[in-house]
Amino acid sequence: MNKLFKSALLLLLPVTIAVTPGCGIKKMIKNAGTISYEVKPNPLEMHGDTIRVAVDGNFPPKYFHKKATLEVTPVLKYNGGEKVLKSITLRGDKVEGAGEGISYDQGGKFSVSDKIAYVPGMESADLMLRATATYKSKTTDLPEVSIAKGTIVTPLLLQKDYKPMMDADKFDKNPTVTQKANIYYLVDSWQVRNVELKSDEMENMYNFISRASADSSEFVEMKIYGYASPEGELSRNSKLSVNRAEEASKVMFGRFDKIKRKDLRKQEGFYTSVTTDYEDWDGLKQMLSTSSIDGKSDALNIINTVNDPEAREEQFKKLASYDPIYEAYFPKLRRAEINLVTRLKVRTDDEIRALALSAPDSLGNEELLYASTLVSSDSDKMKIYQSYARLFPEDYRGFNNTGAMYVKMGKLNEAQSEFEKAGKIGNNVASVQNNLGVAAAMRGDKIAAGKFFDAAGSSAEVSYNKGNLDVANGKYASAVSNYGSVCSFNAALAKVLNGNPSGATQTLDCSETKDSAESFYLKAIIAARGGDQAGVSTNLAKAVSMKPELKEKAMKDLEFAKMTLSF
């Protein structure tokens, strides 16, 4: 039996007597103690941003007057206002109209429930009962009575530690490049002509070798492929392919000798001659595939369907378009293809760091973004990201990383602006979607945040942010799932709210903030829920010693309503 409810009825019913003296209402007063009543939960609890209230009542048989009507309305009063909840009308057996009937002979139950949005101050609210009695067309407002006090607002401990995502550089500290050049030969010849040594391809190769040697880059490997055009005897073409590769290698080693790198001649594994395809039908097929020459389809059909090399060559010569194809493409098949693999020399980390801060425009984009990993201060990182966004505005990473730094600095408006810029360039990028979700969540737009997080994939940061959003929405089981094995204050809070105090304690103990005032305060709540007075006292003492303002909070916190607090 709820004693508070008994008292409430004893206060309410005498007023009814004043309105309807001498009627059968007197019996309701006399038997008020037989009514059962419950507020669920009591004290009230906040979940997400909502407080749910449920009031149950049970009238015993021979109690409710057959001609009486009672309208009951729960009201939550708090410092700054009040919220009126959904009301219920109860009527006796002989009352017509709307409302729930309460039988005089059998008694009856009633329930009224509603939810309201949390407003600051409701942690100290009173749940009041307002009632209006009606009997024989006469009504009166009965005195308000408090039926529950206060609201547990532990979910408000949620920390806004949403995690933005940074985009990494793709800088290769040991980059390798392959410089290519071709030397072309006359039909049935492997002699290197002077005109080939002066071609644009070979001039580019020579210049590359000179630059790489000057900056101490490393020549790693040279492969030379020898090819012949698909004409003549196979054995002759085999010899042509081998000799063309060897003659090209002489040209290359001669160039290395001029830059005083004769050691490459003896370097094990440096040079390889490759002559796997003596007649280059594949090369011809590739050229034809991208051409618009007459007879292209017939030529490709022969290459693709005739497997025997001699038969293929005979059919090919019978093509009406053979002569134009021969003149256009066969000279390009008689060649040696040079592939020089070189590991380039790059700037040192110290050089990159200094240039990033003093002359960022002298660095390439990946070098500049890499430089952000070489500085420790947030101000230097921000300077580099802002330089990147200015120099490479077509790349979303500069804007996205700048926005992430603004989040860290607590400048939400600036972060939002940068994330929007990044979104215009990389709208479908997971990191950008996550960061737009972070900005939305931190400004309180949970619906928009949820949509962005859903579009951001399933990274560790996204899952954690979804966990935060779940706690804010009162979805504690989902929050625990999204946090996974992460050790953080918020992950521990989710376990507390989901009814796993021991798991919450373990999560706090492995978190980086295990010795914070907030963590000790949460441990005190865990102890209070388990009836551990000593645990409450010990942990609150530590929390208050670190943050004295927590003393006043604890004194009002209904988590400790059944505990003895001493500071």
In order along its 567 residues, the chain shows pLDDT tens digits of 444 444 444 444 443 333 343 345 666 656 766 777 789 899 999 998 999 999 998 889 988 889 888 888 999 999 879 999 999 999 999 998 889 999 999 999 999 999 999 999 999 999 998 888 788 878 878 778 888 999 999 999 999 999 999 999 999 988 999 999 999 999 999 999 999 999 999 999 999 999 999 989 999 999 999 999 988 888 888 899 999 999 999 999 999 999 999 999 999 999 998 865 567 888 888 888 888 898 889 889 988 999 888 888 888 888 888 888 888 889 999 999 999 999 998 899 999 999 999 999 999 999 999 999 999 999 999 999 999 999 999 999 999 999 999 999 999 999 999 999 999 999 899 999 999 999 999 999 999 999 999 999 999 999 999 999 999 999 999 999 999 999 999 999 999 999 999 999 999 999 999 999 999 999 999 999 999 999 999 999 999 999 999 999 999 999 999 999 987
How do the domains of the chain map onto residue ranges? Answer: 3-152, 159-173+346-460, 176-343
In the chain, the amino acid numbered 145 is: V
* Pair 430, 459: CB distance under 8 Å: yes
How many other C-beta atoms can be found within 10 angstroms of the C-beta atom of residue 210?
A: 12
User: What is 159-173+346-460's CATH superfamily?
Assistant: Tetratricopeptide repeat domain (1.25.40.10)
Closest CA to 344 of 359, 364, 358: 364
Residue 137: predicted pLDDT: 78
How many other C-beta atoms can be found within 10 angstroms of the C-beta atom of residue 345?
A: 14
Q: Length of the chain in residues, anyone?
A: 567
Phi-psi region of 371 (alpha: psi -120 to 50; beta: other; left: phi over 0): alpha
CA distance 277 to 334: 12
User: What is 176-343's CATH superfamily?
Assistant: OmpA-like domain (3.30.1330.60)
Tokens of 369: 């973004």
Alpha helical stretches, state H, 334-395:
349-358, 365-371, 378-391
Residues in contact with 350: Cβ distance below 8 Å, sequence separation at least 6, in sequence order: none
CA distance 87 to 157: 32
Residue whose entry in the numeric block shows the structure tokens 């749940």: 127
Residue whose entry in the numeric block shows the structure tokens 């609890």: 45
Closest CA to 90 of 44, 58, 43: 58
CA distance 7 to 1: 11
Residue 278: predicted pLDDT: 66
Residue 495: predicted pLDDT: 98
* Pair 370, 352: CB distance under 8 Å: yes
Domain 3-152: assigned CATH number: 2.60.40
